Structures are given as C-alpha cells and as structure tokens.
Amino acid sequence: MPDDGQSLNLRPDFNKAGGLVPVIAQDYETGEILMLAFMNEESYLKTIETGEVHYWSRSRKELWHKGATSGHVQKVKDIYLDCDKDAVLVKIQQVGNVACHTGKRSCFHYRHTKGDQYELI
Amino acid sequence: MPDDGQSLNLRPDFNKAGGLVPVIAQDYETGEILMLAFMNEESYLKTIETGEVHYWSRSRKELWHKGATSGHVQKVKDIYLDCDKDAVLVKIQQVGNVACHTGKRSCFHYRHTKGDQYELI
C-alpha cells in the first residue's frame, strides 16, 4: 500500500468484466446517487478528455455521451477509483438537475418496503 | 410509469449480467460511498432476511457476508432499485467505520489528478 498523497500511474482495470467497469455518478454537492452505468476504456478516456461523463451503453452497444440528446450532461468534478481499480466513482454536476430518462432526478426511485415490495418515490 | 407511492412487486433483474447486479453501499448518514460490489439472488435475499449486507464474491465465487470475519458488518437502513432494476443502492450503517479491506473507511481512495495520474487519499 503506497503512502497517502503519493502520485500513482493508474487506469481502471477493464479486464475483469468483459472490458467494462461499473461507474457510480454522485452529485458533487449533495452526495445523492444519481445513476449507475458502465464505461469501457474509450468512454473513460473521453470523459477525462472532455470533462463530461461518457458511458458505454450496454443495450445500444455504443459510446454514450450522457445528455448529448437531452442536454442533461454530467460535468466531472472528481473521479475516484476503488482499492481494486475495478469500480469508478464520478462526482458530477448534473446539468438540468435530471439524470434519469424517466425525468426524475435520480435513477434510484424504487424503495424497498418489505419482502418483494417496493414503493415508487 | 406507475404513480408515486404505489406498491410494486419487484426484484433486481439478475439476468442482465450473468446472475449478478452491481450494488452501491452508501453511508446512510453522511452520503459517503463506501464500496461497490455485486449480489446474486441468494445474497440479495439473505440481505433482506438478515438486515445485514451479503454480497457475491466474484474472486472467491461464494456468498460473502460482509464483515463476518472482520466484524465490520453493514446494517441495512434502506434498499433502492434503479429505473431498469439492474442496479441496487443500499444505505447502510457501517459497523467499525471501516468498509475497505485496506483499513480505510471507503474503498474509493484513489483520486484522479490528470492523465493517468491518481493520488492516494
């Protein structure tokens, strides 16, 4: 384990899950979790290059510049890797205050109540 | 899209990624992201049954009761599903205040600085 503050040459480990890593998008001010999606190496590099979050769309199988159509882009404030380098956390400013395609602010809008029951929040 | 507050019969969709869904563990009080891991259906049901987070260990290929060895269990406060039901957010109380196997509170301790450079925080 290197010392705190040490500079390290790192990228996410894209080999663990078929070229993809899960990415958590968190509001940089409120700490609210807005969505979870995936990046491949191309989308990771595009995110760093542009300062706006790019994912890999597993359904469309293409580079996904989040908000390119809706205008709800995600401005990168900070990027973190976890201890195993197989997960990414991006702290973002969510333009338009809406991350979800349903029009809600966060994608996490089903809250568990009991058993198999959830309520929509 | 159902109405807000409506009760829905749901489980995570375990079919999208080989029986696993990514799970974000977030401190229920501070909003800090502590770790990202995976659940299969068995670990999801165990989590609900026991009120303590169970994951699926991809490296050991076994049910992983987080903290069973270290004592750093994660007490479930709330469980959320996202709009596609393919990601889980658990809001937890982290016993011992340490989630990471490195002894740090959060697993996300590499912060991007520039290019391929990260600093350990």
Query: Starting at the edge strand that comes first in sequence, how are the strands of the sheet with B33-39 ordered?
Result: B7-9, A117-120, A110-114, B74-81, B88-94, B21-27, B33-39
Choose among B8, B107, B117: nearest Cβ to A110.
B8
| Percent of chain B clearing pLDDT 90 (strictly above) | 92
What's the whole-number mean pLDDT along residues B72-84?
A: 97
CA separation for the pair B51, B74 (Å, rounded): 8
Among A1-15, A54-68, A77-91, the least confident range: A1-15
pLDDT mean across residues, chain A: 95
Over the stretch A72-106, which tens digit does the pLDDT of each residue have? 999 999 999 999 999 999 999 999 999 999 999 99
Angle, CA A101 vertex, CA A99 and CA A103 arms, to 5°: 75
| pLDDT over 90 at A40, yes or no | yes
Choose among B22, B84, B120: nearest Cβ to A2.
B120
pLDDT of residue B28: 98
Over the stretch B27-48, which tens digit does the pLDDT of each residue have? 999 999 999 999 999 999 999 9
| pLDDT over 90 at A3, yes or no | no
- Under DSSP, the state recorded for B121 is -
| A113-116 own/partner pairs: CB under 8 Å, 24+ apart | A113/B7, A115/B48, A116/B9, A116/B10, A116/B11
Tokens of B75: 């007490």
Quick check: A33 and B10 CB within 8 A?
A: no
What's the whole-number mean pLDDT along residues B97-112?
A: 95
Quick check: A1 and B102 CB within 8 A?
A: yes
Residues of B with Cβ-Cβ distance to A117 under 8 angstroms:
7-10
Quick check: B10 and A115 CB within 8 A?
A: no
Quick check: B3 and A113 CB within 8 A?
A: no
pTM of the model: 0.95
